[in-house]
């Protein structure tokens, strides 16, 4: 699973080979969406399957290789399986035959490290019911629920759905607001959306679409226009927006056009507050001024897209950062949720994109190693605002400045 492309709740299915993980997915889906066989190791690399669980809603189920896979390739598959734990909102640990040992303990340790709630399902209970001793062992673990099932018993679906509802964090399926707490009924929100080579033909980029929908959901008025139309619009209409939101790449232009008494921020910063570790971003962004010659900067772009000649992550931000600091810096750009090319401690700064294509859980776990290692982290929009000298204005709608907050 190279990247998270949807923000639906992600549920990962884990366990040993031939414990019935794929059968469990088929049971939840109500159809054969996963390959099932009597041979251990049918599932190799993690596979994402998008469908609706009746009684719960749309989800992404992640079918993983057995944690007990062996051999050189098997070890690589196990590594891929463990990587997915940072990307799921809920884990289901599938066991069978009253078997519990080091493999299960390793998974529980990984769940704990990434703060991933998990259920324990004793599968194939039509063949071997869970023993009382086994139940005592499982009962001592920090799971969110335990059940005995057989994928041959269709009525087990209701039990599983109720367990999922009770265990999965509400934040995984509740749609948070981008700007609902910043605007009121009937407010006008100005959305400045440049149409450049990175804009998909005939469409807007996802953060812009999300902002439009969020404005409408909050019974406000969205006015969408390109940056060169802003001055004429404000002069001719005399409308005073309650908030202006711009693409981060034209922050300087928007800053010059939007009067100082109108709050201004960017789509990327809205996403940073909704999905990211905003407190760490606020703390880490000013560290840009402390970068030194030879420092290495990591840019995390959590989706994959066509790379243009003037790409935001690969070209523009590195250019702006180098010009602002006047230092010789090294840059690594990692797309999707791929592994990093080097240790996180090799970096002096991590810059995370808005994360419009992934879940909050995936984004938080993506930057967690940097935060835990004390590496400054920031966000595309916040970094751009900082190097363009309008950082305080850009974050003011969410974090009013104090004398010492951003020094």
pLDDT reading at 98 higher than 90: yes
Angle at 261 between CA 393 and CA 281, to 5 degrees: 20
Residue ending a domain, among 148, 172, 196, is 172
221 and 240 in a common domain: yes
379 located within any domain: yes
Of the listed ranges 29-38, 103-112, 254-263, the least confidently predicted one is 29-38
Token couple for 33: 């969406």
Closest C-alpha among 259, 135, 133, 121 to residue 190: 259
Rounded to two decimals, the pTM is 0.70
325 and 354 in a common domain: yes
Task: Output the domain CATH number for residue 44.
Answer: 3.40.50.300
236 and 310 in a common domain: no
> Which tens digits make up the pLDDT trace of 19-29?
988 888 888 87
> Which tens digits make up the pLDDT trace of 63-86?
899 999 888 888 889 999 998 998
3 located within any domain: no
What pLDDT is attached to residue 2? Answer: 35
HSE of 382, CA atoms in CB hemisphere, 13 A: 33
What pLDDT is attached to residue 225? Answer: 95
Backbone angles phi, psi at 4, to 5 degrees: -95, 115
139 and 41 in a common domain: yes
**DSSP structure string for 24-59:** HHHHHHTS--S---SSTT---S-EEEEEEETTTEEE
405 located within any domain: no
377 located within any domain: yes
Computed on alpha carbons and rounded to an integer, the radius of gyration of the chain in Å comes to 24
200 and 118 in a common domain: no
302 and 167 in a common domain: no
Number of domains within the chain? 3
- Domain extent, residue 310, equals 276-395
The rounded distance, in Å, linking the Cα atoms of 201 and 76 is 39
75 and 126 in a common domain: yes
Angle at 144 between CA 169 and CA 35, to 5 degrees: 85
Write out the H or E segment, with its range, that includes residue 371.
helix 360-372
Residue ending a domain, among 269, 296, 318, is 269
177 located within any domain: no
Residue ending a domain, among 269, 288, 307, is 269
Percent above pLDDT 90 for the chain: 59
202 and 121 in a common domain: no
Closest C-alpha among 350, 373, 374 to residue 272: 350
> Which tens digits make up the pLDDT trace of 310-336?
588 889 999 999 999 999 999 999 988
23 and 165 in a common domain: yes
pLDDT reading at 201 higher than 50: yes
Residue with the bigger pLDDT between 137 and 339: it is 137
Token couple for 198: 């990175």
What pLDDT is attached to residue 177? Answer: 83
Neighbours of 406 (CB within 10 A): 15
203 and 146 in a common domain: no
282 located within any domain: yes
314 and 370 in a common domain: yes
């Amino acid at each position: 699973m190279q990247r998270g492309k949807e923000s639906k709740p992600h549920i990962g299915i884990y366990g040993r080979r031939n414990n019935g993980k794929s059968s469990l997915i088929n049971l939840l889906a109500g159809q054969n969406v996963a390959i099932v066989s009597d041979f251990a190791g049918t599932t190799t690399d993690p596979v994402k399957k998008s469908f609706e669980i009746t009684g719960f809603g749309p989800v992404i189920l992640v079918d993983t290789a057995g944690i007990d896979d062996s051999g050189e390739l098997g070890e690589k598959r196990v590594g891929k399986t463990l990587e997915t734990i940072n990307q799921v909102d809920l884990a289901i640990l599938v066991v069978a035959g009253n078997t519990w040992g080091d493999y299960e303990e390793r998974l529980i340790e990984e769940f704990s490290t990434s703060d991933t709630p998990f259920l324990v399902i004793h599968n194939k209970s039509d063949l071997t019911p869970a023993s009382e001793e086994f139940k005592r062992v499982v009962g001592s673990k920090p799971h969110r629920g335990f059940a005995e099932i057989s994928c041959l018993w269709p009525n087990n679906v209701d039990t599983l759905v109720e367990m999922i509802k009770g265990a999965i964090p509400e934040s995984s399926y509740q749609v948070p607001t981008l700007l609902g707490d910043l605007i009121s009924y009937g407010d006008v929100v100005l959305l400045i959306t440049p149409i450049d080579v990175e804009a998909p033909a005939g469409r807007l980029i996802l953060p812009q679409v999300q902002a439009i929908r969020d404005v409408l959901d909050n019974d406000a008025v969205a006015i969408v226009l390109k940056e060169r139309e802003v001055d004429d619009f404000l002069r001719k209409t005399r409308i005073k927006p309650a908030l202006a939101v711009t693409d981060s790449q034209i922050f300087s232009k928007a800053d010059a056009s939007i009067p100082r008494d109108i709050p201004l921020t960017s789509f990327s910063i809205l996403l940073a507050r909704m999905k990211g570790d905003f407190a760490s971003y606020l703390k880490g962004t000013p560290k840009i001024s402390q970068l030194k010659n030879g420092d290495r900067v990591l840019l995390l772009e959590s989706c994959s897209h066509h790379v243009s000649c003037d790409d935001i992550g690969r070209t523009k931000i590195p250019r702006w950062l180098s010009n602002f600091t006047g230092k010789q810096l090294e840059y690594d750009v990692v797309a999707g949720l791929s592994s990093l090319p080097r240790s996180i401690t090799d970096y002096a700064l991590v810059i995370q994109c808005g994360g419009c294509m992934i879940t909050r859980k995936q984004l938080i776990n993506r930057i967690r190693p940097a935060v835990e290692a004390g590496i400054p982290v920031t966000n595309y929009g916040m970094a751009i605002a900082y190097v363009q000298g309008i950082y305080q204005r850009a974050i003011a709608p969410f974090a009013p400045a104090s004398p010492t907050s951003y020094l």
